[in-house]
Amino acid sequence: MNRAIGLIIIFAVGAGFLLFFIIKSIVSPKQVGALAALIKNGRTGAAIKAAKRLIAKDPKNAEAHYYLGLAYQKEKRGELALMEFKTVNQLGISEREIPEVEFRQTLAQLFIQFNQGEEALKEYLLLIKLLPTHSDYYYWAGKLFTERNRMDMAEQYLRKAAELSPRDGKIHYELGVMLYKDKKASEAKAALNVALKHQRENTGQTYFYLGKIQKDSKDYTGAAASFEKAARDAKFRIRALVERGGCFMSLNAVEKAIPDLERAVGAITAEADSDSLYARYFLGMCYEKNRDLDKAIAQWDKIYAQKKNFRDVGEKLSQYQDLRSDDGMKDYITAAPDEFTELCKAVTAQSLELQVQTVKSFPEGCELVAIEGESAKWRNTRKMPRLIRFFQSSDPLDEPEIRSILDDAKEGNITRAVVLTGSDFTRAAIEYASSRPVELFNRDKLSALLKGVKVSSSKPRTTRRS
C-alpha cells in the first residue's frame, strides 16, 4: 500500500514538472512576442517593466534580456542597453527566440558607441561568417582594422566591401583614408575621387583628405581648392582653413593666408582643441611675417593661456616681451621697408659713426657699405670700408649667413663685415665668426645702438607687408 502511494506521488511530481515545462514552452514565446510588440508600438516603458518582471522570475531568460536591451536602446540609454546585450552574449543565443544577425549588428554598434573597438571587430567578423556577401560588415571590419593600424587587414576588408558595393561612397572614402595613412598616395587619391562620384552629401571630409594628398605632393593650388570645399563641412572647417592657409604660406603668399586663418580663428568654439591652437599659431606666424607684432603677440598669448608648452610660443613671447618697453627695438622689428632702410642708415651714421656709401634692401633686411667718418674715433686713420647687414627676421642667424657676408665682402675687396640682428646668433655662427673679420651685434647689443638714434622722415609709420 505504501509502495503504491509512493509511486503515485512520484508520478504526480513528474507530471507536475512535465506540465510546468510544457506551459513554459507555450507561455514563453507569447511573452517574448508581447515584448516585441510593445517595443514595435513605441511602448518602451511598458516593455522595460514586463522584461524586468520576467528576469526577476528567471535571471537566465536571454530573450527577456535581449528585449530589455532593445527597449533601452530605443530610449537612447546606450549603457544600459550594452549591459543587457552583453548578458545575452554570455547566456548564449543558440536555440533562443533571438534573431542572431540583428542582435550582433546592434551589439557591434553599441561596442563602437562606447569605444570598445576590439569587441565590435569580433562581432563584425562573426557577421561576415553569417552573411559573407554583406558589404557593410566588411566596411566596418576594415574601418576598425584601420583604427588599430592593421593596414594589411584593413585594405583586404575595405577592398572586398568596395567590390561588393562599388557605388557606395562611404566605402571608397574609408578605403582612401586608409591608403593615405598607409602612405599609398596615388591609390588613396583614386579611391577618394571615386568616393566623390558617389557621395551626395558629407563630401567635406573627402575633399579634406584629397587636399592633404595634394599638399603633400606640393600641388598647393589644387590643395587650396580642395580645402576650400572641405571648409563647407562644419566638422572640418577649422582644420581645412588652417591647411588652406598653410598652402598659401608655402607659396609665400602671406596676404592670401591671413584671411583663411582669420576665418579659422573666428570659427573657434573650443580654445584648447589642437585645431584651435594651430589656427592661432599659424595666424601669429603670418602677422609676425608682416611685422604686425601686436597682433601676433595677441594670438600667442591666447595659445599660452591654454597650453604653455605649445611649440615655441613661450620662446616667441619671451623674445618679444621687451617690445612694450623698448620703443627703439619695436620700431626696428616692425618698420616697413623704406622706414627700415632709414633706420639702418641712422644707426650706421649715429651709433657706429660710419659714413654710408651705398644701400640696398633684401627680403629680410638691409645691406650697407660704409667707411669711417671724420669723428674723433676714426681721425688720423685709414678709412676702411665695412660691409654691414641688418637683419629684421625673428629667426636666429646661423653660420651660412655669416659665411655669406664674408664671401661677399671678399668679392668686393672689403676687409671687415658687421652683422646686426633683432634676434640672436646660433652657437655655430658665433664660433665661425670668432676667428674671422666680422663683428656680431645680437638683439641686446642692437638695442643699445638704437637708443638715442633719430630718424628724419616725414612719412607716417606704416606696417611692413611682405
pLDDT at residue 335, rounded to an integer: 86
pLDDT at residue 287, rounded to an integer: 93
Residue 369 domain-assigned (yes or no): yes
**Tens digit of pLDDT for each residue in 350-361?**
999 999 999 999
Residue of 386, 392, 394 lying closest to 341 (CA atoms): 392
CA-based R_g, the chain, Å:
37
pLDDT at residue 282, rounded to an integer: 97
Identify whether the C-beta of residue 427 lies closer than 8 Å to the C-beta of residue 397: no
**Tens digit of pLDDT for each residue in 362-415?**
988 999 999 987 665 555 556 789 999 999 887 889 999 999 999 999 999 999
pLDDT at residue 34, rounded to an integer: 86
**Domain check: are 303 and 217 in the same one?**
yes
pLDDT at residue 149, rounded to an integer: 94
Residue of 119, 164, 117 lying closest to 138 (CA atoms): 164
pLDDT at residue 164, rounded to an integer: 97
Residue 466 domain-assigned (yes or no): no
pTM: 0.72
CATH number at residue 336: 3.40.1350.10
Give the residue with greater pLDDT, 121 vs 454.
121
Q: What percent of the chain has pLDDT over 90?
A: 73
Give the residue-averaged pLDDT of 146-159. 96
pLDDT at residue 318, rounded to an integer: 84
**Domain check: are 377 and 300 in the same one?**
no
pLDDT at residue 22, rounded to an integer: 36
Q: What is the mean pLDDT of the chain?
A: 88
**Tens digit of pLDDT for each residue in 165-203?**
999 999 999 999 999 999 999 999 999 999 999 998 889
Q: Which residue, chain included where needed, has cell 583628405?
A: 209
Residue 464 domain-assigned (yes or no): no
Whether the pLDDT of residue 341 is over 90: the answer is yes
Whether the pLDDT of residue 114 is over 60: the answer is yes
pLDDT at residue 377, rounded to an integer: 58
Residue 78 domain-assigned (yes or no): no
Provide the domain limits for residue 337. 330-450
Residue 401 domain-assigned (yes or no): yes
**Domain check: are 384 and 441 in the same one?**
yes
Residue of 221, 194, 218 lying closest to 206 (CA atoms): 194
Give the residue-averaged pLDDT of 212-216. 97
Whether the pLDDT of residue 23 is over 50: the answer is no
When pLDDT is cut at 50, 70 and 90, the band that residue 26 belongs to is very low
pLDDT at residue 27, rounded to an integer: 38
**Domain check: are 318 and 210 in the same one?**
yes
pLDDT at residue 8, rounded to an integer: 54
**Domain check: are 294 and 388 in the same one?**
no
**Domain check: are 314 and 335 in the same one?**
no
**Domain check: are 305 and 335 in the same one?**
no
**Domain check: are 272 and 380 in the same one?**
no
**Domain check: are 392 and 423 in the same one?**
yes
Dig out the grid coordinates for 395 from the structure: 629667426
Give the residue-averaged pLDDT of 1-26. 47
Region of poorest pLDDT, from 106-115, 232-241, 334-343, 433-442: 334-343
Phi, psi (rounded to 5 degrees) for 20: -60, -45
Residue 319 domain-assigned (yes or no): yes
Number of domains in the chain: 2
Whether the pLDDT of residue 463 is over 80: the answer is no
Residues 206 and 237: their CA atoms lie apart, in Å, by 13
Residues 358 and 368: their CA atoms lie apart, in Å, by 6
CATH number at residue 230: 1.25.40.10
Residues 188 and 51: their CA atoms lie apart, in Å, by 49
**Tens digit of pLDDT for each residue in 274-291?**
999 999 999 999 999 888
Whether the pLDDT of residue 25 is over 50: the answer is no
Whether the pLDDT of residue 444 is over 50: the answer is yes
Residue 6 domain-assigned (yes or no): no
Residues 458 and 442: their CA atoms lie apart, in Å, by 29
pLDDT at residue 24, rounded to an integer: 43
When pLDDT is cut at 50, 70 and 90, the band that residue 461 belongs to is very low
Residues 318 and 184: their CA atoms lie apart, in Å, by 42
Residues with Cβ within 8 Å of residue 409, at least 6 apart in sequence: 387, 415, 416, 417, 437
Residues 331 and 339: their CA atoms lie apart, in Å, by 9
Residue 145 domain-assigned (yes or no): no
Whether the pLDDT of residue 2 is over 60: the answer is no
